[in-house]
Amino acid sequence: MRESKLRVGVLGAGAWARFAHIPGWLRDPRCEVVAICDPVGTLAADYAKEFNVPFATTDWQQLVGNPEIDVIDVCTPSSTHFELSWAALEANKHVLCEKPVAYDFRGTLRAAALAHSKGLKTKLGFTFRYSPGVQYAKSLIDEGFTGRPFIFNGYEQNSQWLDPMTPLRQVDIHADQAVLQTSSLEGYGAPIIDISHWWVGADLRRVVGAMRNFIPDRMVRDTGTVMRMNIDDGDIYLGEFTDGTLTSIQTSFVTIGNYPGIEARLYGEKGAIICRLVEEFGVAETVKLATPDGVEFRQVEIPQEFYPPGGHPRESWRSLFYANLIRDFVSEILDGGDRNQGNFDDGAWVQETINAVERSHHEERWVYLPLERA
């Protein structure tokens, strides 16, 4: 790795790139965004002008193949994630990719193996793993605050699409509508599933779940019309970890609440933690703790050390959490050691859980993990 700044190329000029990804890179003085690509050339050019990025293109292969670029950031529609990530890894680039890398967990495992074989670092867009509150809670868990875990409850619930006239994005309008398609479980469940794995520190043994389509008729952004979409807009699953910890996960984008709507609860033999990542009354997140001799949950202040430089509790969660993600990834790359949290291996674990819950719903049974690899 050169001694100068990490040079980053961004694929995708959408809203998430604008409000989270690019500001995160620009916030870290150890890196610089040198190129941006989008199929809509005017979007790429507009973002390049807005963020003072020197090069804009519609040709992703040109950007990925540039030997002067160290890191590729994939924040394009999910159907393109695997192809772009794979090409970037083959071109010897470190890769940050929004979730999922692939709809089938085995694809993500293949990409993770390719990265390992080349000594490259990967990172999934598990934004909420990097919130100051979640990071602080994990440090308490590591210090033994909760002791042996008993139960993890996770929620991702907000009312973004409770109104059926709010245009729905990134859905397959050509999918077989006789079969319930996965939406909330994958797009919204992934972050809280990731936190459950990280906090408990064990793999899942089995899961059983149910998915529902509560609001079938929706305005679809791609068509500009109301269509019947048989998609999962709410779901719940129960699980059992290999260490005996029990878990329940609920996700939905039609349950009343503010975005992002993440809440993680861990109950152990020595203590309990509730971390609520819901932007309410101007505050991005709250952490509450309880112990056997102090059973009333008390809100605690998140130490400043868990915030990115310049970060504070009233900053937007989008920039606040993602700044931590970028800072962590840059450190992992520059340090050159083995540390690489929230990587493609973690992404494969989360996607395998999602695939198992999908199977459980469609086959109406408990599904045991790990799933078959072939």
- Fold topology of 130-316+338-368: Dihydrodipicolinate Reductase; domain 2 (3.30.360)
6-120 has which CATH code?
3.40.50.720
Coil, strand, or helix at residue 333?
Answer: helix
pLDDT bucket at 367, cuts 50 / 70 / 90: very high
Q: What's the pTM value of the predicted model, to 2 decimals?
A: 0.96
Locate 371 and state its tokens. Answer: 């799933």
CB 173 within 8 A of CB 224: no
Upstream peptide bond of 303 is cis (omega within 30 degrees of 0):
no
Domain positions in the chain? 6-120, 130-316+338-368
8 A C-beta contact, residue 329 and residue 96: yes
**pLDDT tens-place string over residues 49-90:** 999 999 999 999 999 999 999 999 999 999 999 999 999 999
Helices 189-200 and 132-142, packing angle to 10 deg: 20
Average pLDDT over every residue of 8-17: 96
pLDDT digits (tens, 9 = 90+) for 148-199: 999 999 999 999 999 999 998 878 888 888 899 999 999 999 999 999 999 9
Q: What is the pLDDT of residues 287-337, one digit of tens each?
A: 999 999 999 999 999 999 999 999 999 999 999 999 999 999 999 999 999
C-alpha pair distances (Å), 52 with each of 22, 34, 55: 11, 9, 9
User: What's residue 57's pLDDT?
Assistant: 97
Distance of alpha carbon 100 from alpha carbon 125, whole angstroms: 9
State the pLDDT at residue 3: 57
Strands 149-157 vs 262-268: parallel, antiparallel or unpaired: antiparallel
Other Cβ atoms less than 10 A from the Cβ of 6: the count is 21
